């Protein structure tokens, strides 16, 4: 009888711990949704990149220092690039998609609940780039880049915080 009681109390303790962690998880998800919605509404977004997928080279995990940042009408890109350039860059010796440029065209669409898509164009001294950025209310993000003189590439990441 005593053994049954101890097992019952142990199971009840596990259930209570499970309920508390589910509640905490739900609270964190709600906070993330609010933060992402505010970032999307204000067009102030920082995306930390986790992986990239190149047309010719497959998918690769990247180091945590790469990002894409949108601040109003300016795009700041520090993204790796793996692919073939169709013309040699003559103006800049930078490697990757590293630039800060004003946004030329911008459109926003709410595709479904919890998902926003931005399409924007930027022109640098090297190339013209078309970005499609999909942001989910969970904080996940997907970026697709088509350049005039390079193979397309895409990135997976998460909405992060701004580094001043």
Using pLDDT thresholds of 50, 70 and 90, give the confidence band for residue 4: low
> Is 82 exposed, middle or buried, given 0-12, 13-18 or 19+ CB atoms closer than 10 A?
middle
Mean pLDDT of 26-48: 85
Q: Write the DSSP string, 98-148.
A: EEEEEEEEEEEEEEETTEEEEEEEEE-SS-EEEEEEEEETTSEEEEEEEES
Asked if residues 51 and 155 have their Cβ atoms less than 8 Å apart, the reply is yes
- Residue pair 51/158 in contact (Cβ under 8 Å)? The answer is no
- Residue 48: how many CB atoms within 10 A of its CB? 18
- Categorize the per-residue pLDDT at 10 as very low, low, confident or very high, splitting at 50, 70 and 90: low
**Mean pLDDT value across the chain:** 83
* Highest mean pLDDT of the ranges 17-31, 63-77, 79-93: 63-77
Please tell me which residue, 99 or 57, carries the higher pLDDT value.
99
Per-residue pLDDT band for 164 (boundaries 50, 70, 90) equals very low
Confidence of residue 59 (pLDDT cuts 50, 70, 90): confident
Task: Compute how many other C-beta atoms are within 10 angstroms of the C-beta atom of residue 115.
Answer: 15
Q: Please, what are the domains in the chain?
A: 35-159 (2.40.128.410)
State pLDDT tens for residues 116-162: 999 999 998 888 999 999 999 888 999 999 988 888 999 999 988 65
């Amino acid at each position: 009888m005593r053994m049954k009681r101890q097992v019952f109390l142990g199971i009840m303790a596990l259930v209570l711990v499970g309920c508390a962690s589910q509640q905490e998880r739900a609270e964190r998800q709600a906070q993330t949704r609010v933060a992402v919605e505010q970032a999307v509404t204000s067009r102030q977004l920082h995306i930390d990149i986790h992986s990239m997928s190149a047309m010719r080279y497959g998918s690769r995990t990247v180091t945590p220092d790469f990002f894409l940042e949108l601040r109003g009408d300016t795009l700041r890109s520090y993204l790796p690039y793996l692919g073939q350039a169709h013309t040699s860059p003559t103006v800049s010796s930078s490697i990757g998609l590293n630039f800060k440029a004003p946004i030329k065209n911008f459109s926003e669409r709410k595709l479904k609940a919890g998902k926003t898509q931005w399409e924007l164009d930027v022109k640098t001294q090297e190339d013209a780039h078309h970005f499609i950025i999909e942001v989910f209310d969970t904080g996940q993000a997907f970026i697709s880049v088509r350049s005039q003189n390079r193979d397309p590439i895409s990135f997976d990441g998460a909405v992060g915080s701004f580094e001043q």
